Amino acid sequence: MTAIADVWSRMVQACILGTAARDEKFAQNADGRQDSHLNLILSEIEEQREKFESKEELMLARLAAVGTALRALPRGSQSEETQATLRNYQVEECPEEVKALAPPAALSLLLQLVEDTSQAGQSIMKEWFKACLSHNSRIPEYQLPVMLERLKNVRAIHEQFMKCGGEHFSWLVRANAEWLEKYPQNLGQADTARLLKLIDEGNTLERTESFAQLRKLKPTEAREAILGDWKKEAAETRISFMQDMANGLSNEDEPFLQEALADKRIEVRTLAQRYLIKFEQSALSKKIEEELLHYLKYEKKQLIIDFAGIAENVEAPALGIAFRDMQLGAKALYVFDLLLKRPLTFYERSFALKPADIMKAIANNAEDGQMLLRAVLETAVIFPASRIWQEAILSQCGDTLMESEGGMKFLASLPQDLAEPVIKARLPVWARQGAVGAPRLDIWYHLEHTTFIWSADFTDAICDFIIKECSEKVPALNYTFQQNARAFAARMHISAATRIPQFESALNKSDNAISNYFSRSIMQIMEVLELRRNIESTFKQNTAKTEDRK
């Protein structure tokens, strides 16, 4: 402690107690150490004691003098330990950037886009990143921290963002522990060692988070890191570890998962089962298939269930909220549960039938056909179905998909070229050439439940419909449309931007554009389309300028 700080500390003690209780001179340090300048000042104050009306004023004068001296002290000087740490720390330099900066106009758009992390916003941001990549540009380094912070939980766009961040992206992420956790794809070898250490020695949260990160990068090493103490782990930790096993799942995990089937906690057992059924050759998969073949039969061109073979006291599995619309008995639920655990190829293998024939066989079963169809729809999502299967399902029940939750999930899982005709069929009959008919509002519901990017033809058809509806007395632009207008515009083919004037004129033609309940949604569509068009044009402008300069 310096002499000034020492005197100051004694003065603070005296003031806390009050001069009524304690009064002393401060011109010399308690241990005899002296600061000549300070002593001179304090002695001068003491000598002029009579100039102060009270000993309190004298103390205040001392406080002012020593306080000012204290403020003038170099505070930058750190303790030896801190100094040593600082000296030993080497600031890592970022490698030189190769890519050029994105043009200012494009960056200005990006800053606007970052504010919106909704689904629609993410989709537009992805477009920006795509344009940035295709023009071999990058985001300026000084804008990265704000974006890294803002987008840290928007995992769907991390990959594209990383590619546009240049060398600075990885360099910054490595320097910030929180970002490193949120953007784990940037982990290097050194970080793997750190994660292994944390799994071994960290607290519960650190262990589970580190395991989740490592599992994404090095699944085998992650699994082996928890194997040793698996049985001694607390139940909650086991559940958490088991949830993160979903990342990087492979056949190598089977022995571990097989063992987890005997765990004390049902959550662990259920998760292990869910993973094991993904492996066609796992013992569990084989066992389920064997059991299913006892009950499931192909007879008289029908796929039937032989409930007689199922024990009377079979326990109905809890299937969760997604199945609340099904009213099945315990035996049926039991079979249904087993069916969900096998991919659609099981039917082909077991009955030597093509998908289309299996679908017909299901439809031919008047009694249990609905249940079997539902199982097929669900299974086609759990174990992504082949295109032949998707086509077979669509030809069987394409127009009733929205009647069940399984159907909705199946629709959402379809690729663009298969989903579009299903949805297009929801357009009113008059929207097709040469026909007249009432509009069907559930088209918006269909679109809301899908995420594919619209093709040019499909976009055209939907835009035609919207523009036509604007001029109707009661347009079929309902609440679902209004709520999803931005998201729809974000998924439209970019050619829709050429139709902005048509949207504008349709809006102007309607009675009172401002008071119309759907006008805001149409404006949103126009805004998003304009924004998307600007993304590409801002990058193109820069390219044109560069070429001009050349």
Partner 1 sequence: MVVSFIASYSQEEVLALAPDASSVKSGKELSSERKWQNLGSDGSAIWGECQGSGASPYKASIDLNGPAFKCSCPSRKFPCKHGLGLLLMAMANPAIIKEEEAAPEWVSKWLDTRGDRAAKKKDREEKPRTEEELVKLKGAKDKRRSDRFDKVEAGVDELTIFLSDLIRQGTGSLKNKPYSFWKDRAARLIDAQAPGLAKRLLDAGSGGGADYQEKLLLNLGQLYLLARAFRERESLSEELKEDVFTEIGFNQSQEEVLSRAGTQDSWAVVGQYFTTEEKLRIQRTYLVGENTGLQALVLAFAHGTMAFNQTLVPGKSYEGCLNYFPARFPQRALIKEQGAPKPIDTAKLKMVASATIGSAEREWGRVLALDPFAQSVPVFFKDCLIFHLDGSWWLKDSESNYYPVKADSLDCWQLFAFSSGRPFTIFGEWHVDHFMPLSAICQDVFLRVAVRQTKREILEASAV
Contacting residues toward partner 1, per CB under 8 A? 8, 11-12, 15-21, 53-54, 56-57, 59-68, 70-72, 74-76, 78, 83, 85-87, 89, 91-94, 104-105, 108, 112, 115, 141-142, 144-146, 148-149, 168, 171-172, 175-176, 504, 514, 523, 526-527, 530
Min dist. Cβ of residue 12 to partner 1 (A) = 6
Min dist. Cβ of residue 339 to partner 1 (A) = 51
Q: Which is nearer to partner 1, 77 or 313 (CB)?
A: 77
Residue 138: phi, psi to the nearest 5? -145, 165
Min dist. Cβ of residue 500 to partner 1 (A) = 8
- What is d(CA 110, CA 41) in angstroms, rounded to the nearest whole number? 60
Min dist. Cβ of residue 181 to partner 1 (A) = 15
Residue type, 449: H
Q: Which is nearer to partner 1, 86 or 321 (CB)?
A: 86
Largest distance between two CA atoms of the chain: 120
Min dist. Cβ of residue 162 to partner 1 (A) = 15
Bridge partner residues of 381 (DSSP): none
Q: Which is nearer to partner 1, 94 or 353 (CB)?
A: 94
Burial class (CB in 10 A: 0-12, 13-18, 19+), 372: buried
Q: What residues contact residue 143 under an 8 Å CB cut-off, 6+ apart?
A: 107, 110, 111
Residue 350's nearest CA partner among 291, 402, 307 is 291
Residue 137's nearest CA partner among 160, 164, 112 is 164
Find tokens 């940035």 and name the residue. Answer: 132
Q: Which is nearer to partner 1, 112 or 396 (CB)?
A: 112
E strand spans, 77-151: 100-101, 137-138
The DSSP letter of residue 298 is E
Q: Which is nearer to partner 1, 78 or 220 (CB)?
A: 78
Cβ atoms of 9 and 1 within 8 Å: the answer is: yes
Helix axes 369-382, 387-397, angle to 10 degrees: 140
Q: Which is nearer to partner 1, 85 or 134 (CB)?
A: 85
Bridge partner residues of 101 (DSSP): 138
- What is d(CA 185, CA 170) in angstroms, rounded to the nearest whole number? 9
Min dist. Cβ of residue 217 to partner 1 (A) = 24
Min dist. Cβ of residue 224 to partner 1 (A) = 31
Bridge partner residues of 138 (DSSP): 101
Q: Which is nearer to partner 1, 106 or 239 (CB)?
A: 106
- What is d(CA 541, CA 109) in angstroms, rounded to the nearest whole number? 14
Min dist. Cβ of residue 1 to partner 1 (A) = 13
Q: Which is nearer to partner 1, 131 or 139 (CB)?
A: 139
CA angle (278 as vertex; 276, 281 as ends), nearest 5 = 75
Q: Which is nearer to partner 1, 478 or 519 (CB)?
A: 519
Q: Which is nearer to partner 1, 104 or 329 (CB)?
A: 104
Cβ atoms of 335 and 309 within 8 Å: the answer is: no
Q: Provide, for the chain, the percentages of residues in helix, strand and coil under a 3-state DSSP scheme, each rounded to the nearest 5.
A: 70, 0, 30
Q: What residues contact residue 224 under an 8 Å CB cut-off, 6+ apart?
A: none
Bridge partner residues of 394 (DSSP): none
Residue type, 242: M
